[in-house]
């Protein structure tokens, strides 16, 4: 059976790469005794698939992976089962069973909400630049993709922005063109330095309705809500 | 910030968590995960005045250093003691070093990110010579004077252990103490001595160094003086303090069963080399390969009981979540009952399914390939053998007694059982080597490719060639190594020959790096300023080809008025005093000299593990013997098939007593 797991990546472990996190999960599942299905063929690999990569150094309250389990398991028991085998900072929060044919995380997720610290910038300047960007029709930016530079209009990917002191909350699209937090800050002002970055949510749109791949229940909600709704709107 | 009281001064300083200062810079350096620690199994007690704090440093990158088993063993043994604590550190890569120096952040432990100078002891693992400039760099980054003589009461003691310490003289100016041999027992004795010194409230470094010098296996360089003859050769290295003994002997753990470590092998969160469970199946080797320092200095052979190996594999796989286990030793196929151990490890019910087993050092014969076939049911991609030399004559000189028949049988067996690639390791620049010997390497490889063709597929054979570097405490310690020019010529001979041999690929080690390794491995105390010069000129990470700078070494040698040629390429005579003569690996110097003469006479010797004894000194000197579980050599004889080797005087070995298997707590 296939299960989708929501997990966090907070603290020192944020310096793990996407590949590191995948390896950590593989080993944690083996340690916890949760049996994962393996691929066929010459060198069998455990069948895990991860959602959108989180850049090395960024934290997150909402990461996802899909696991093909070899045995049936109550989704509610997976997080408590595997969490003790995960390093401090990576916590399995909730799991659900997903039907075969469910859209992959890469396809389903259309945007992410971010909490960005902008370092050494006057608060009123930050608010002013954000207002200006939101009021603009286009926000030109040169981005680097696959080693080459290309021009991009950052504006369509900015779905929402609000400022809380020196913290910027932003919802950025992943489809059709994605915008990275560092690129957003560069588009606002190339001289600014991006500090800590936290992904608070990933969003899907199913039949026009916005939602999360797995919403956190009340039990888990405190971390996510406090981070995402902390600020007053700047515009 | 709290102040923790302590007697020695090091713990009396404020505890500064470096993390808060380091963290903002980690996003801008390569592979930041290597500085965060957080490994499974990394558990350290909180600092307290009663505990001697050790910072165990591997002076290369985290990826190379983390898996080091010696360091992990000491880390656990120390942290199990009520009077010790140990944390780990690794050489910061050049980008982070730049940050540390710019921001004034000290070297730190990856466990708790405490500053290196808050520890009582900073101890280095020295696995190779080219890391020596990194040792100085780490001491300096710790905020400690690099020269031992410049350190004061508040500074940590700087120690070192590991294979390269068998000639520690080039580092004599920088190290306060050096440990020879197995560390399991002696580390506790050193800790107890330092704890007592701390408790007594003494700040006198010489006092504690004198105490350490009284512990078997501990060498304190500053208590000795090296004197030289007018012709530049060494006259003697002699004690200048009554606390120092004339000869410092290595330590040897008699029974590996008493030390089932690491019990909690560290599992890193980021990629490292040898990223798998490692279980040491025996220590020591008596095959007697004359170029091999590891084989000489770790005698006698001490096998771990098979039941304990099985238990360590089983518990280790469950605890770590690894899907691969390596059975480590200098020649794992020689382990008595290797097949049973492998079968047990492969049992899917033991771990969590899909476990693969690797044997890092394969003996060259068909039996070994049979074991490998049992292990690698899937993923039969490449198999590695080390014939080391291209002709039987040359292999007799180096006592690597593999016949061509053994090699071809092994390779044929590999190709017929589905392997597609075979890698062969060789040395060039060996004593008495002729061009015929050198070219024999390609001839062997070419015939291996033919064997693949005979099996009906396009197998490839990769030949990896390293320049031979003579090491202390080997029969070749008297040999003047080949010049860089000569090594390069031989590599070129091989490359030309390989061009005409279809299916043979060749890789080679940089002869310039071999030259510097040769300089340092047999160097004396006069090389101290040379190493310091290279380090001050920015020559760190010398074992990384992109950072290696021969020009800095040449410049440093010239500045010190020393001659590379004299150190590297000169044959030593029997009467010459060697820089490590006041140290002992248990081997009689006259045994090594006789073995050197035998080498020049192309005389091979049997493996003494299973019967004859050549009185090398390793067993008799320590009152211990080879500990093996089988009284008979592996199929085909002690060194291979049908060789009719001469036999030495016979001394029976002790068979491994069957004790209850266990891995302790």
pLDDT digits (tens, 9 = 90+) for B168-217: 999 999 999 999 999 999 999 999 999 999 999 888 999 999 999 999 99
> Cα–Cα distance between B116 and B298 in angstroms, integer?
31
Between positions 10 and 29 of B, the ones with CB within 8 A of A are: 19, 24, 26-27
| Pairwise CB contact (< 8 Å): B27 & A57 | yes
B348 touches chain A (CB under 8 A): no
Element containing residue B77 per DSSP (H, E): helix B69-80
Across the range B457-485, mean pLDDT stands at 95
- Give a yes or no: residue A17 inside a domain: yes
> Cα–Cα distance between B461 and B385 in angstroms, integer?
11
Residues of B in contact with A31 (CB under 8 A): 318-321, 352
Weakest-pLDDT range from A221-225, B62-66, B280-284, B397-401:
A221-225
Whether residue B469 is found in the same domain as residue B356: yes
SS3 A87: coil
| Pairwise CB contact (< 8 Å): A20 & B270 | yes
pLDDT band at B122 (very low <50, low <70, confident <90, very high): very high
Whether residue B239 is found in the same domain as residue B299: no
Which of B380, B424, B432, B429 is CA-nearest to residue B402? B424
Whether residue B72 is found in the same domain as residue B220: yes
Whether residue B332 is found in the same domain as residue B378: yes
Whether residue B219 is found in the same domain as residue B337: no
- Give a yes or no: residue B540 inside a domain: no
Which of B488, B384, B504 is CA-nearest to residue B442? B504
Whether residue A98 is found in the same domain as residue A130: no
Whether residue B314 is found in the same domain as residue B197: no
DSSP H helices, B386-464, are 392-398, 404-416, 435-454
SS3 A3: strand
**Peptide bond just before A176 cis, omega within 30 deg:** yes
Q: What CATH number is associated with residue B382?
A: 3.80.30.20
Residue ranges of chain A whose pLDDT lies below 50: 220-235
Q: Name the residue of chain A whose CA is nearest to B22's CA.
A: A12
Single residue among A76, A102, A128 that ends a domain in this structure: A102
Residue B342 or residue B253, greater confidence: B253
Indicate the average pLDDT of chain B: 89
Whether residue B53 is found in the same domain as residue B186: yes
> Cα–Cα distance between B288 and B475 in angstroms, integer?
10
Residues of B in contact with A88 (CB under 8 A): 38
| Pairwise CB contact (< 8 Å): B269 & A24 | yes
> Chain A: nearest CA to B269, how far in angstroms?
6
Which of B170, B171, B121 is CA-nearest to residue B146? B171
Whether residue B332 is found in the same domain as residue B450: yes
Residue appearing with tokens 């330092």 = B194
> Chain A: nearest CA to B516, how far in angstroms?
36
User: What's the confidence (pLDDT) of residue B39?
Assistant: 97
Structure tokens belonging to residue B635: 């199929």
* Res B639 pLDDT > 70: no
Return the number of other C-beta atoms located less than 10 Å from residue B102's C-beta: 9
> Cα–Cα distance between B211 and B220 in angstroms, integer?
10
- Give a yes or no: residue A148 inside a domain: yes
Q: Nearest-5° angle of CA B119, CA B121, CA B122?
A: 90
Nearest to B269 among A13, A56, A57 (CB): A13
Residues of B in contact with A24 (CB under 8 A): 269
Structure tokens belonging to residue B299: 């005698």
Residues of A in contact with B267 (CB under 8 A): 27
Single residue among A58, A79, A102 that ends a domain in this structure: A102
Structural domains counted in chain B? 2
Q: What CATH number is associated with residue A44?
A: 3.30.70.580
User: What's the confidence (pLDDT) of residue B665?
Assistant: 38
Weakest-pLDDT range from A160-174, B275-289, B623-637:
B623-637
User: What's the confidence (pLDDT) of residue B346?
Assistant: 77
Between positions 25 and 84 of B, the ones with CB within 8 A of A are: 26-27, 32-33, 35-38, 40
> Cα–Cα distance between B249 and B246 in angstroms, integer?
10
- Give a yes or no: residue B601 inside a domain: yes
User: Dmax of chain B from CA atoms?
Assistant: 75
Give the number of beta-carbon pairs within 8 Å between A and B: 68
User: What's the confidence (pLDDT) of residue B625?
Assistant: 75
Which of B416, B417, B437, B419 is CA-nearest to residue B428? B437
- Name the pairing type of β-strands A158-164 and B421-428: unpaired
- Give a yes or no: residue A234 inside a domain: no
Structural domains counted in chain A? 2
Whether residue A177 is found in the same domain as residue A70: no
| Pairwise CB contact (< 8 Å): A13 & B323 | no
SS3 B468: coil
Residues of B in contact with A42 (CB under 8 A): 378-379
Query: Which letter does DSSP use for residue A29 in this model?
Result: H
* Domain span including residue A45: 2-102
| Pairwise CB contact (< 8 Å): B321 & A31 | yes
Which of B386, B357, B354 is CA-nearest to residue B373? B357
> Cα–Cα distance between B282 and B301 in angstroms, integer?
7
Which residues contact residue B538 at a Cβ distance below 8 angstroms, ignoring those fewer than 6 apart?
B549, B552
Note whether B409 and B451 are within 8 A (CB): no
- Give a yes or no: residue B175 inside a domain: yes
The strand pairing partners of B460, in sequence order, are: B421
* Domain span including residue B364: 276-522+578-628
User: What's the confidence (pLDDT) of residue B16?
Assistant: 56
Q: What is the pLDDT of residues B43-94, one digit of tens each?
A: 999 999 999 999 999 999 999 999 999 999 999 999 999 999 999 999 999 9
Q: What CATH number is associated with residue B133?
A: 3.40.50.280
> Chain B: nearest CA to A59, how far in angstroms?
12
Q: Name the residue of chain A whose CA is nearest to B320's CA.
A: A31
* Res B434 pLDDT > 90: yes
**Peptide bond just before A231 cis, omega within 30 deg:** no
Whether residue B289 is found in the same domain as residue B203: no
Q: What is the pLDDT of residues A132-153, one digit of tens each?
A: 999 999 999 988 878 888 898 9
- Give a yes or no: residue A233 inside a domain: no
pLDDT band at B379 (very low <50, low <70, confident <90, very high): low
| Pairwise CB contact (< 8 Å): A12 & B38 | yes
Radius of gyration of chain A (CA): 19
Q: What is the pLDDT of residues B558-585, one digit of tens each?
A: 999 999 999 999 999 999 999 999 999 9
Q: Name the residue of chain B whose CA is nearest to A26's CA.
A: B321
- Give a yes or no: residue B256 inside a domain: no
Whether residue B99 is found in the same domain as residue B34: yes
Query: Which letter does DSSP use for residue B41 in this model?
Result: T
Whether residue B294 is found in the same domain as residue B203: no
> Chain A: nearest CA to B381, how far in angstroms?
10
> In this structure, which long-range contacts are made by residues A213-221, counting pairs with CB atoms below 8 Å and at least 24 apart in sequence?
A213/A4, A213/A6, A213/A51, A213/A64, A213/A105, A213/A108, A213/A109, A214/A4, A214/A5, A214/A6, A214/A64, A214/A94, A214/A95, A214/A96, A216/A6, A216/A93, A216/A94, A217/A94, A220/A93, A220/A94
| Pairwise CB contact (< 8 Å): B33 & A20 | yes
| Pairwise CB contact (< 8 Å): B270 & A16 | yes
């Amino acid at each position: 059976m296939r299960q989708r797991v929501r997990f966090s990546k907070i603290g020192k472990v944020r310096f793990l790469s996407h590949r590191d996190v995948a390896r950590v999960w593989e080993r944690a599942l083996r340690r916890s005794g949760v049996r994962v299905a393996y691929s066929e063929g010459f060198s069998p690999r455990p069948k895990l698939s991860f959602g959108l990569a989180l850049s090395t150094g960024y934290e997150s309250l909402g990461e996802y992976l899909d696991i093909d389990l070899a045995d049936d398991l109550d989704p509610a028991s997976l997080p408590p089962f595997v969490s003790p085998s995960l390093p401090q900072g990576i916590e399995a929060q909730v799991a659900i069973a997903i039907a075969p044919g469910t859209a992959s995380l890469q396809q389903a997720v259309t945007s992410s909400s971010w909490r960005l610290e902008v370092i050494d910038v006057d608060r009123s300047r930050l608010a002013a630049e954000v207002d200006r960007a939101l009021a603009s029709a286009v926000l030109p930016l040169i981005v680097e993709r696959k080693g080459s530079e290309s021009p991009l209009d950052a504006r369509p990917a900015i779905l929402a922005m609000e400022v809380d002191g020196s913290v910027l909350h932003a919802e950025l699209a992943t489809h059709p063109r994605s915008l990275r937090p560092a690129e957003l800050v560069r588009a606002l002002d190339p001289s600014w330095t991006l500090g800590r970055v936290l992904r608070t949510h990933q969003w899907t749109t199913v039949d026009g309705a916005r939602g999360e791949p797995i919403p956190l229940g009340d039990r888990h909600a405190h971390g996510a809500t406090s981070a995402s709704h902390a600020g007053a709107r700047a515009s | 910030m709290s102040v923790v009281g302590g007697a020695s001064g090091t713990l009396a300083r404020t505890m500064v968590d470096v993390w808060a200062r380091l963290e903002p810079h980690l996003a801008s350096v390569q592979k930041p995960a290597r500085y965060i620690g957080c490994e499974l199994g990394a558990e350290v007690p909180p600092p307290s005045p009663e505990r001697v704090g050790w910072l165990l440093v591997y002076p290369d990158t985290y990826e190379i250093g983390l898996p080091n088993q010696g360091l992990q063993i000491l880390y656990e043994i120390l942290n199990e003691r009520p009077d010790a604590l140990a944390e780990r550190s690794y050489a910061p890569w050049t980008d982070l070093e730049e940050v540390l120096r710019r921001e004034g952040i000290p070297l730190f432990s990856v466990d708790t990110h405490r500053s290196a100078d808050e520890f009582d002891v900073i101890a280095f693992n020295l696995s190779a010579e080219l890391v020596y400039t990194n040792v100085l760099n780490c001491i300096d980054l710790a905020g400690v004077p690099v020269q031992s003589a410049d350190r004061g009461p508040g500074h940590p003691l700087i120690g070192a252990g590991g294979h390269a310490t068998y000639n520690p003289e080039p580092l004599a100016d920088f190290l306060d103490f050096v440990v020879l041999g197995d560390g399991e027992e002696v580390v506790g004795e050193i800790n107890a001595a330092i704890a007592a010194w701390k408790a007594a409230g003494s700040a006198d470094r010489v006092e504690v160094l004198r105490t350490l010098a009284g512990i078997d296996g501990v060498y304190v360089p500053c208590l000795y003086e090296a004197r030289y003859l007018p012709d530049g050769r060494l006259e003697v290295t002699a004690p200048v303090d009554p606390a120092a003994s004339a000869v410092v002997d290595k330590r040897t753990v008699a029974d590996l069963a008493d030390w089932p470590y690491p019990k909690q092998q560290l599992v890193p969160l980021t990629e490292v080399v040898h990223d798998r469970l490692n279980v040491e199946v025996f220590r020591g080797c008596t095959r007697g390969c004359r170029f091999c320092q590891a084989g000489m200095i770790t005698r006698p052979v001490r096998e771990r009981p098979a039941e304990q190996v099985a238990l360590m594999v089983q518990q280790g796989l469950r605890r770590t979540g690894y899907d691969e286990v390596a059975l480590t030793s200098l020649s794992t196929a020689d382990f008595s009952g290797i097949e049973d151990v492998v079968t047990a490890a492969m049992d899917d019910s033991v771990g969590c399914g899909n476990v693969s087993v690797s044997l890092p050092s394969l003996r060259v014969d068909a039996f070994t390939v049979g074991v490998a076939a049992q292990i690698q049911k899937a993923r039969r991609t490449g198999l590695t053998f080390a014939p080391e030399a291209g002709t039987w004559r040359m292999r007799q000189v180096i006592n690597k007694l593999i016949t061509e028949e053994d090699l071809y049988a092994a390779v044929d067996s590999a190709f017929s059982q589905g392997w597609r690639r075979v890698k062969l390791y060789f040395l060039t620049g060996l004593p008495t080597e002729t061009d015929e010997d050198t070219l024999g390497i390609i001839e062997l490889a070419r015939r291996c490719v033919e064997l693949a063709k005979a099996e009906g597929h396009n197998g490839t054979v990769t030949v990896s060639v390293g320049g031979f570097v003579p090491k202390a405490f080997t029969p070749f310690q008297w040999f003047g190594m080949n010049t860089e020019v000569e090594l390069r010529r031989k590599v070129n001979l091989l490359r030309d020959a390989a061009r005409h041999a279809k299916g043979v690929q060749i890789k080679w080690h940089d002869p310039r790096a071999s030259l510097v390794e040769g300089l340092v491995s047999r160097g004396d105390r006069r090389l101290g300023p040379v190493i310091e010069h290279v380090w001050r000129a920015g020559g760190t990470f010398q074992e990384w080809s992109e950072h290696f700078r021969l020009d800095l070494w040449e410049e440093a040698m010239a500045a010190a008025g020393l001659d590379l040629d004299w150190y590297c390429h000169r044959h030593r005579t029997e009467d010459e005093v060697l820089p490590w003569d006041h140290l002992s690996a248990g081997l009689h110097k006259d045994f090594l000299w006789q073995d050197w003469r035998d080498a020049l006479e192309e005389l091979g010797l049997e493996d003494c593990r299973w019967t004859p004894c050549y009185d090398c000194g390793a067993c008799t000197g320590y009152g211990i013997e080879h500990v093996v579980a089988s009284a008979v050599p592996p199929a085909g004889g002690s060194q291979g098939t049908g060789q009719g080797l001469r036999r030495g005087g016979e001394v029976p070995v002790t068979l491994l007593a069957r004790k209850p298997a266990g891995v302790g707590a």
